């Protein structure tokens, strides 16, 4: 069974995709970028500020679907500059305190709207 997950507490999709899709007990959260859902604009600030916003957006989607950060089993992090990896990693670690998920991190040429970071995740209800 497939269910589309959507919340006003995270940015609306800016293309032909859903914020998240729940399939059985697995939630697939689309890549989140640092858009403030109240203003629909990219948050101003460095990688730390942007990473916090990305993970807050992800958290709002997780909550809407009945999940928590602790249910996340895999994340993929995209960075426009790998020099920001350490600072992104510090913020990331504050959201995944115990038993962090598996993860991949990539440097990419460019991200939507010129943001510094995008993170997607998969969460599972055990």
CATH number of 2-124: 3.30.1330.40, 3.30.70.20, 3.90.180.10, 3.40.630.30? 3.30.1330.40
- What tens-digit pLDDT sequence spans the chain (126 residues)? 899 999 999 999 888 999 999 999 999 999 999 999 999 999 999 999 999 999 999 999 999 999 999 999 999 999 999 999 999 999 999 999 999 999 999 999 999 999 999 999 999 997
- b/e string for 3-41 if b means 16 or more Cβ within 10 A? eebebeebbeeeeeebbbbbeeeebbbbbbbbbebeeee
Q: Indicate yes or no: pTM above 0.85.
A: yes
């Amino acid at each position: 069974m497939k269910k589309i997950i959507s919340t006003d507490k995270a940015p609306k999709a800016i293309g032909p995709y859903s914020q998240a899709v729940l399939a059985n007990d697995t939630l697939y959260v689309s890549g989140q970028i640092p858009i403030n859902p109240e203003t629909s604009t990219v948050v101003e600030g460095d990688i730390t500020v942007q990473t916090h916003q990305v993970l807050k957006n992800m958290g709002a989607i997780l909550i809407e679907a009945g999940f928590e950060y602790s249910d996340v089993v895999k994340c993929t992090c995209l960075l426009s500059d790998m020099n920001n990896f350490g600072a992104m990693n510090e913020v990331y670690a504050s959201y995944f305190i115990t038993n962090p998920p598996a993860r991949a991190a990539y440097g990419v040429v460019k991200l939507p709207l010129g943001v510094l970071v995008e993170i997607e995740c998969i969460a599972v209800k055990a």
